[in-house]
Every structure is written in structure tokens, then in C-alpha cells.
A and B are shown apart, each in its own frame.
Chain A
């Protein structure tokens, strides 16, 4: 764990992998050290904001280092089951890039046990960790100007569901009818960091 100052009242905690990010973020929510005002996870880092009147960066970093470690209990929460129709425009290309049949790509994607690691890009867009390493492909060389809402896609070590139509460079494997974001719902996002996710194949 490494700590880097991020402006006057935040510190960026860097860890080794996504699982550690998920564990640290969960620990910060469960047991926030004094003075912590927010914790924002990303791919290898968690930004911890603090109130300078209540703590110092050094005190905070020591407290974070002493947080009980360990990933969140995998059985602590029921997974969100996302139904997917695997008819995405990039299925064949992903199969070719991975040296698999399109059917294998679908089977491997649908077999995965995922966890939402962090959000970004758009409200409700969660980077899900747990992708089969055999499906790891770089982003498309040319992003699409419009990826449809509900697109289920992969890139690098992640999979995700596009919560709304937007430009995007991920490879589209399929689509879901499940809404990922509803501004009027509480909470508005279907997924949040720590949420377990499964994909289930359905036919159109």
C-alpha cells in the first residue's frame, strides 16, 4: 500500500490489484477512520477525502493501513442477475482475437462471477472485475460514436453494461433489457462498488 497526497484534503491510496481496491473500499465504508469524508475507488487506487480539521494525512494513512483486511464476504449479498442476449456486433471479432468459438466466448462470459469494482465514464457505469483472462482484449482501435443503452461489453480486464447510449470503445458481446440507472430510484444505480454480478444467457 502506497499513499500519495492528492491536493489539500485527499490522499490517493495505491494497492496492487482490483481485489485489494474492492476490499479497501469496503473496509473504508464499514469502518471509516476519523475525519474521512468520502472514499472513491478506481482501478488500482482509492481516493480518500478527509476533513483537515479532524485529522492529518499521516494519521489517516496510518489508520487506513491498520484497517482489517480481507475481501468482502462473497456470500454477504445476493448477486444481481443480469439477463443477456448474446448477439453483440463484436462477438465474432472477440472470438477471433481470443482464438475461441463465439459460443465459447458466450459460455465463458456467462460463467463468470463478477464484482463491481468502481464507477466512471457515465452515471451507473460500473467496471466489473472477474472476467475470464481468456477474454481479455484491448479496446477497439476506433471507438463507436454510439453504443446502445444496455450493451454488455468487455475491454481489458473488465466487463460492463452501458447504462445509456453513449460513445464507447469496448467490444459489444450482447445486450440486456435490465435498466442500470434510474435517476428517480433510490439508489439510482443498479450496481455500486462491491455489488456481485452474474450474467445469464437469454434468447431474444
Chain B
């Protein structure tokens, strides 16, 4: 398939490269794994096949042969050739059909899966582009031709999936590991006040703006491991919620970590959204 426009940012993503964190290589992979795996199921791929992740829409691709495709994630108007098509459903693109993924109206990241997967070479076990470490395929740009893999083993098992509600305004967190480094009111602020998503976010993390979370302990924190979903608080008190391309270690305290189930929702936050945090049920 040939990329004709790539919007704000389009990358190839699968489920990432595991097991190399101790060498300084982050996990990477689709920011919203739920949407990636759904798109792959819809076209009959293995769940972890490589697909395109596009940010806020604007991706246009032309197919040179008949290809089964599906788009999931951020809600975008879709056009294939001259007809409108729907998200969350497999659709056949015919040779020379052009798919337009319009501007997202809800959510931030949409996923285009093609039957057979995006067949760029794997790097350290993954086809994902890691913006922070520079590993994996280049960022997708207009003019790129991306190979599509051979037909997947099984026919698609579903022909439509219910859309997921995007823009969840409340995310579950587990406090710690460094919540005790913060002033007494920081925990209650984190769990009571809304935080606004700033435009300065990317696949590394979502930068939030809200009442500052003030520190009690002023020591310098020796570098500590970071994970996807960790909420780190730099000295300005404005939390940074890490996504797929997070650094493997960092020197600011982590006040709380998102519940696993809500990391995908965090990856669909868009600038201007308000988000609240509440304690996860253990």
C-alpha cells in the first residue's frame, strides 16, 4: 500500500518488544493495545500483527491489490474510494482504492489493520517504531510504500465489533511507589481534581495541567524504573502520564500508576480533555 498523507504522526506498531528493558530498550508497541488487537481480529490476523497507528486522523493510503482492512480506535470519518465506510468492521479495498481517514472526532489514535499485516522488517522482535529510542521502522511519511504480508491463516471470526466508548474521563490508579514523597494534600488533589490534557503530549506520554502536586521530600531521586501508565511528577508539579514509548528509567518520583485496563483509554486522551483519577479496586 502507498501512503499519500500521514497526518500529524503515523507509525507502524505491533505489541512491542519485550524483555530488553534491562538493556535500555523500552517496550513500545501500540499506545492503545485494545484497538490494535481488535483491528487485527477483524481482518483475521494474529492479534499482535503490525498495523498503522495514526494520530488524530489524516492518514490517506492507496491499495494496489484487493486487501481486507479494518479501522479501530479514535472515531474518524472513513472514505474508501467514493463511498463512506464504517469503523470496527472489515472492508475489502479493491486495487487502486484510496482510503481516507478523516480528522478524529473522539479519541486520539486510530489503527488501520490490513489482512496479512504490515510486513516491514522486525527489529529486535518487533515492527514497532519507538520514537524515544529510535528503534524500528522509520516514521510513516507520504510516498512510502509499505509491504503487506501474505494472507493470514484464518478467515476473520467477526464481521463487526461494537465501538468502545472513547474519552473516558475517569482513570483508575494505584497509589505509589513514591506517593510518600508528596505533600499531604497531593494525594487528595490527584484523586479529586480534574487535570487537563495539554497539547505537549506524544507516544512517550501525556502531559497534564492541573493544581500542582507539591513535593514534601526535596531530595534528588536516584533514577528509578518506569512503566507504561506511571504518573511521574517533575518539579513543576504537573503530572506526566507515560505511554508506550516511555523511558526505561527516570529521576522524578512516580505518585501513582494507572490500572492496566485504563492504559488504552489514556492513549486516547486528546488535548483539551479533562481527566480525573480514582483509586483502583485492588
Contact = CB atoms under 8 A, between A and B. Distances in A.
B159 interface: no
Interface stretch (A76-84, A105-113, A182-190): A182-190
Q: Which of A6, A9, A42, A43 has the most CB of B within 10 A?
A: A6
A42 B223 contact: yes
A45 B23 contact: no
A118 B22 CA distance: 7
10 contacts: A6-B177, A10-B257, A47-B225, A47-B227, A118-B223, A118-B249, A119-B24, A122-B24, A183-B135, A192-B23
Contacts of B117: none
Contact of B22 (A10, A41, A164): A41
B222 A7 contact: no
A91 interface: no
Contacts of A39: 22
A10 B141 CA distance: 37
Nearest to A2: B177
Contacts of A6: 174, 176-177, 225, 227, 230, 254, 257
Interface string B160-186: 000000000000001111100000000
B224 A45 contact: yes
Contacts of A44: 222, 224
B23 A124 contact: yes
A150 interface: no
In the A-B complex, the 8 residue pairs with the closest CB atoms: A7-B257, A43-B222, A119-B24, A120-B249, A4-B177, A47-B225, A189-B23, A40-B225
Interface of B: 18-25, 123-124, 133-135, 174-178, 222-225, 227, 229-230, 247-250, 254, 257-260, 280
Contact of A43 (B18, B24, B135, B223): B223
A5 interface: yes
Interface in A103-162: 118-127
Contacts of B124: 183, 188
A193 interface: yes
Interface of A: 4-10, 12, 25, 38-47, 118-127, 164, 183, 187-189, 192-193
A7 B249 contact: no
Main secondary structure of the interface of B (DSSP, over half): loop
Nearest to B173: A7
A172 B207 CA distance: 32
A41 B223 CA distance: 10
Given A5-B174, A187-B23, A40 B222 contact: no
A5 B227 CA distance: 13
Contacts of B280: 8
B22 A192 contact: yes
A8 B248 contact: no
A12 B177 contact: yes
B23 A119 contact: yes
A38 B247 contact: no
Contacts of B24: 119-126, 189
B233 to A, nearest CB: 15
Contacts of B259: 7-8
Contacts of A125: 24
A123 B223 contact: no
A200 to B, nearest CB: 24
Contact of B260 (A9, A25, A43): A9
Contacts of B258: 7
A45 B18 CA distance: 20
B133 A123 contact: yes
A72 B211 CA distance: 46
B249 A12 contact: no
B226 to A, nearest CB: 9
Contacts of A25: 22
A42 B257 contact: no
B224 to A, nearest CB: 5
A91 B134 CA distance: 30
A120 to B, nearest CB: 4
A38 B248 CA distance: 13
Given A118-B223, A123-B23, A40 B248 contact: yes
A188 B249 contact: no
B224 A7 contact: no
B225 A42 contact: yes
A133 B178 CA distance: 29
Contacts of B135: 123, 183
Given A7-B257, A122-B24, A126-B24, A42 B177 contact: no
